[in-house]
Structure 1
Amino acid sequence: MTERHWTGPFEETLRAYLTLLPADRPITPQLRLIDQGLDSLATVSLLLDLEEAFEVTVPDHLLNEETFATPAGLWSVIESLLARKHAE
């Protein structure tokens, strides 16, 4: 996956937690978030900010290393929760 399919608010929120990513470097789908400064404390804060921004709740079974490994994995979870929310 080389194209981004997420929204601006997702990228803006995520970028705020990637302290090692230069401002002029794009966030690509397979970027390893841990390599860009996302530590365990930042992961919790990022989760809370994304839940608030998109008005979703990430279920406990999706709170794992895989979900937070890359932007693509994280957006996939948010996108599926949004789809479920809109289907209700």
Structure 2
Amino acid sequence: MTEQAWTAPFEETLRRYLTLLPPGTPISEDLSLATYGVDSLATVSLLLDLEEAFDVTFPDHLLTESTFATPAGLWAVIDSLLVHDSAR
């Protein structure tokens, strides 16, 4: 894919944690978050910021390394939580 389906608030939040990504560099769907600065401590902070920004709660079973591996994987989880919440 050439265009991300995620929202601007997602990208803005994520970009704050990609400390090794040069400014202005596009965030690709398969970018390795760990390679660009998201270590274990940053993952916890990112999780909390995303939960607050999107008013969602990540269930324990989604707190996995694969969830936080790439922007596409992380957005897919958030998107599924948003869809689930709106179905209530």
Tell me the TM-score normalized by structure 2: 0.97
Please report how far the alpha carbon of residue 24 of structure 1 lies from its aligned counterpart in structure 2 after TM superposition: 1.4
**Cα distance between partner residues in 1 of 2:72 and 2:82:** 15
Who is 1:55 aligned against? 55
**Cα distance between partner residues in 1 of 2:50 and 2:2:** 22
Who is 1:43 aligned against? 43
Question: What is the SS of the residue equivalent to 2:5?
Answer: coil
Structure 1 unaligned spans of 5+: none
Give every structure 1 segment of 4 or more consecutive aligned residues whose post-TM-superposition deviation is greater than 6 Å.
none
Instruction: Determine whether 1:80 maps to 2:80.
Output: yes
**Cα distance between partner residues in 2 of 1:73 and 1:31:** 10
**Once superposed, what is the RMSD of the aligned Cα atoms?**
0.7
**Cα distance between partner residues in 2 of 1:2 and 1:18:** 20
Structure 2 unaligned spans of 5+: none
Instruction: Determine whether 1:7 maps to 2:10.
Output: no
Q: Percent identity?
A: 70
How many equivalent pairs are there?
Answer: 88
**Cα distance between partner residues in 2 of 1:8 and 1:22:** 18
Q: Residue 28 of structure 2 aligns to which amino acid in structure 1?
A: T
Please report how far the alpha carbon of residue 5 of structure 1 lies from its aligned counterpart in structure 2 after TM superposition: 0.5
